[in-house]
Amino acid sequence: MTSTGVTPTLSLIVPIYNEEAMIDELRARLLPVLEPIGSFEVILINDGSKDRSADMLDALSAADDRFIAVHFSRNFGHQAAVTAGLHESKGECAVIIDADLQDPPEMINEMMAKWRQGFDVVYAQRRERAGESRMKKGTAFLYYRTLRALTEVEVPQDSGDFCLLDRKVIDVLNSMPERNRYVRGLRAWVGFRQTSVQFDRAERFAGETKYPFRKMIKLAFDGIFSLSKAPLRLSIYFGILCAALSFLLGIFFIVERLTGHPGLVRGWASLMVVVLFLGGIQLICLGAIGEYIGRTYDEAKQRPFYIIARKSSRR
Ligand code: UDP
Ligand code: MG
């Protein structure tokens, strides 16, 4: 059905990293939703899995040519996998969905209905998140609100990468060359007619999260640093704060001198606090600047965001 020349209505993009426990169930849950759509393709991006995922995906695409397996040369990360899926997709619209069925495939119908009404971006917003730790929910809550405060872009609260994109949005995203991509941020940044659908996020069907703390921090940083220059202003704010504090301290010393209480010569502790406080602030500001320089360096190198080792499909 995806033979050359025919444009499928829907491209479904599924990033896969060590999801051997999911693949059969994923296919079983997807087909009843996709079959009625008629013409579709499922692009499975194997992000350097170390388990049996690669073989299972090859078998799947050999048995059914609507399933296309794209294998990365190593693990490049979830956002790179989604980006590759968008590059590979041929559909009039695309839906990005996690492999672990936390994003219910049945929502695709609702998203496509909105798309048919004329919306270009339909993103899913979580009402409830089952089976996720209080820590993850709490940090996500704080993070999305911080991001909103720091950026001019209206990044919707509590929505991940589960979304539908119209072809014209996909083409715009594909033409953007930046690395360290934060897809949900870029999606908000491009504009067009956007709307949301609400859903309750299910528990992971099988296996465990492929997002360890380290990857979560990278994603969080990519969001802030790719959408905002606010951290660069940190040093100005800290500078003003310190100047104001030292001014007040100066007045305090003058008053103390005039009233005849030269008392503050003691104070190893207070000196240490001031030195460490200023040292900390300087390191934070340096780190923020370094983060932007590092990202500029990444762009300057012009390396690809991912490398495809092979594809198993008939096109
Ligand atoms: N994933 C990926 N590369 C990675 C990490 C994750 O392609 O390096 C995929 C993973 O297989 C899943 C999706 O990204 O389809 C979301 O990952 P996960 O469900 O582990 O994240 P969580 O829901 O715990 O945030
Ligand atoms: Mg998940």
Alpha helix stretches (DSSP H) within 35-63: 53-63
What is the whole-number distance in angstroms between the Cα of residue 81 and the centre of ligand 1?
10
- Which ligand 1 atom minimizes the distance to the CA of 17? 11
Ligand of minimum distance to the alpha carbon of 78: 1
Report the candidate in 154, 95, 174, 161 with the shortest Cα–Cα distance to residue 125: 161
Mean pLDDT by 10 residues, the chain (315 residues): 70 94 90 91 95 92 91 94 95 94 90 95 83 77 82 80 95 91 89 90 77 82 84 84 85 80 66 82 87 89 91 70
For residue 98, what pLDDT is reported? 92
Query: Are 229 and 151 in contact, with CB atoms under 8 Å apart?
Result: no
For residue 4, what pLDDT is reported? 53
For residue 27, give the H/E element and its range.
helix 23-34
For residue 18, the number of C-alpha atoms closer than 13 Å in the C-beta half-sphere is 11
Query: Are 155 and 227 in contact, with CB atoms under 8 Å apart?
Result: yes
For residue 2, what pLDDT is reported? 45
What is the whole-number distance in angstroms between the Cα of residue 98 and the centre of ligand 2?
6
